[in-house]
Amino acid sequence: MPTSTLAPTASLLHQLRMSRGGTKLLLAGIPTDQFCTQPMPDGHHAMWIVGHLASTDDYFGKEFAGAASALPKSWHELFGMGSKPSSDASRYPAPAEVLQALDDRRAPLEKWIEGLSPEQLAKSNGKDWAPYAPTVGDLPFFIAWHEGYHAGQLAAVRRSLGLPSAFG
């Protein structure tokens, strides 16, 4: 029977990269001047989704990986949990800045995950995280799930703009 020679973190990184790849496919073709177009009243638009994913990566990097927060405090107010998207584009950073943050804030997380030992992966995240990611090794799966949830919202944005499916 064949045995895997993959590092314990390889599949975790694959899940994160696959979910981010799907997000980027969904974002491709959405005109940046339409980033604040809501697919329905109170619906999350592309700007909010991208900013939210960058902000949550920033949070996870700070909270779990010991990375310094690199986003302005205002981003957590604009894109954090409980924030409400606005169709007023003037309230938000430039689309290019938010898209860059999407890449920049993921990098410290991936670097941290790459360096985790099996013992670190098995460590508990504490009772507050038990329902979502009971161990450090569960966290990347939660992050990938979270991104997939918002990728579904991006699919709705695409459809509301009359764009075709990003996946064929």
pLDDT digits (tens, 9 = 90+) for 114-123: 999 999 999 9
Q: Does residue 119 lie in a domain region?
A: yes
Instruction: Count the domains in the chain.
Output: 1
Specify if 31 maps to a domain.
no
For residue 156, tell me if it sits in a domain: yes
At residue 18's C-alpha, the angle toward residues 160 and 55, to 5°, is 70
- The mean predicted confidence, pLDDT, of the chain is 95
Domain containing residue 42:
10-23+38-160
Residue 136 pLDDT greater than 70, yes or no: yes
Residue keyed to tokens 């950073």:
93
- The Cα–Cα gap between 47 and 86 comes to 9
Report the SS3 class of residue 152.
helix
Residue 77 lies in a domain: yes
CATH of the domain at 150: 1.20.120.450
Give the pLDDT confidence of 69-112 residue by residue, as tens digits.
999 999 999 999 999 999 999 999 999 999 999 999 999 999 99
Angstrom distances, CA of residue 38 to CA of 13, 20, 154? 31, 22, 10
